[in-house]
Amino acid sequence: MLEIRHAEERGAANFDWLNSKHSFSFGHYHDPKHMGFGSLRVINEDRVQPGRGFDTHSHRDMEIISYVLEGALEHKDSMGNGSIIRPGDVQRMTAGTGVRHSEFNQSKSEVVHFLQIWILPEKEGLKPGYEQKTFGEEEKRGKLRLVGSRDGRDGSVTIHQDVELYATRLGEGDETTHQLSTGRKGWVQVARGRAEINGMALQVGDGVALADETGITLRGMSNAEILLFDMSP
C-alpha cells in the first residue's frame, strides 16, 4: 500500500507570527483519519516570522525532532540546554517525565522554516534528554543518510523508538533506493522540491504512507530534500 497525503490536504494554523501545516491531527486541527502513522505522531511544517517564536511550554512522553530547512531556530530548555539549530542540524529532545522549552527566531529579517516531528517513545517515564548533530549536504547528496536511529549508529541521533530516520538531497534525475523489511512501515516526507516515489509524482509538502511495501525508489524531479521514516509496525 502506498498512499499519498497531499500537501494541500493538511491541516493549517495561521497567525501573524506563524504559518503551520499539519500532516496529522494537531492542536485545533482534528481529523480522525489522520491521527499519525505507526509511532509517527506529528509532522508540522512551520514558518516563524523574524523576532517571534514559541514561548516556554511543556512536553512529556514524546521524542521531539527539529529539522531546519531555512534560517536559524534558537532552543532553550529546562535541562539547561541552549543552542541554535540551522540547516543540516538534527535536534532530538526526549521529553520523558517532563521538559519545558522555547523555540525562537532571533533573526530580525529572515523567516525560520523547519519541520517539527513527534515520535511516540518506546515507553513512558524516560529520563529527559537532548542531542543535536550536524549532517553536511554532501553526506545526503544522492543517497539516504541515517540521521536518527534507536541505537544512534553511524553518528545518528538516538531516538527512543524502533525508528530509522533518513535524509536525502536529490537533484533532477538523481535516484536512491531503500528496502523495508517485511512487516515494517514507511513514511516519506518531501521537505523541499519535487520528486517521484516508485514512479508516482510528489510535490513539496506531500507525505506518503507505505505498508506491505518492500522496495522504495526515490527520484529527484527538481532540487528535492526528503525524509524517510522506516518504522516497526
What confidence tens digit (pLDDT) does each residue in 166-182 have? 999 999 999 999 999 99
Q: What is the pLDDT of residues 140-170, one digit of tens each?
A: 999 999 999 999 999 999 999 999 999 999 9
Domain 10-134: assigned CATH number: 2.60.120.10
**Same CATH fold assignment for domains 10-134 and 137-231:** yes
Q: What is the pLDDT of residue 231?
A: 97
Which grid cell sits at 30? 482534528
Question: Within the chain, how many helices (H) and strands (E) appear?
Answer: 1, 22
Average pLDDT of the chain, as a whole number: 97
- The CATH architecture one would assign to domain 137-231 is Sandwich (2.60)
Look-up of cell digits 535536534:
91
What end-to-end distance do the CA atoms of the chain give, in Å? 14
* In the chain, domain spans: 10-134, 137-231
- In 3-state terms, the chain is what percent helix, strand and coil (to 5)? 5, 55, 40
The string of DSSP codes covering 56-121 is: EEEE-S-EEEEEEEES-EEEEETTS-EEEE-TTEEEEEE-TT-EEEEEE---SSPPEEEEEEEE--
- Residue 52 neighbours by CB distance under 10 Å: 15
Residue 9 DSSP one-character state: G
Residue closest to 168 by CA, chosen among 227, 230, 85: 227
Q: How confident is the model at residue 130 (pLDDT cuts 50, 70, 90)?
A: very high
Handedness of CA 82, 85, 89, 95 (dihedral sign): positive
Read off the pLDDT of residues 7-58 as tens digits, 9 standing for 90 and up: 999 999 999 999 999 999 999 999 999 999 999 999 999 999 999 999 999 9
